[in-house]
Amino acid sequence: MVPKNASKDIKTAYDIANTHQWTKEELNVYRYWLREESSYNSALQDASDKSLQEGKKEGRTEALQEALKSLIDSGMGEEEAKKLLKI
C-alpha cells in the first residue's frame, strides 16, 4: 500500500512495482488509461497554449488602439499615428 504522504515519484515507483503482479488484461487496461490520461493532458495543454496566445493577441490589439487614441488626442493626425504605430 502506498503511503498517503508519499511523493509523486514514490507513488510512481509503487505503481510500476505493482504492475508486475497484474494479469495481462489488467496491465492492458492500465496502459490504456495511461494513454487516455496523456491525451487528456495534451489536450488541456494545447487549449491553454491557444488561450494564452489569443489573450496576448487581444492585449496587443488593445494596446495599439489605446496608443493610437493617445496620439490622436495629443494632436497627431490619424494617418501619421497609424504609420508611427505601423498599423
What is the Cα 42 distance to its own chain's centre? 9
Average pLDDT over residues 26-54: 97
**How confident is residue 15, by pLDDT bands cut at 50, 70 and 90?**
confident
Q: Is the pLDDT of residue 72 over 90?
A: yes
Residue 38 burial (CB < 10 Å; 0-12/13-18/19+)? exposed
What's the mean per-residue pLDDT of the chain? 94
% of the chain exceeding 70 in pLDDT: 100
**How confident is residue 16, by pLDDT bands cut at 50, 70 and 90?**
confident
pLDDT at 2: 82
**How confident is residue 46, by pLDDT bands cut at 50, 70 and 90?**
very high
- Contact between residue 72 and residue 81 where contact means Cβ atoms under 8 Å apart: yes
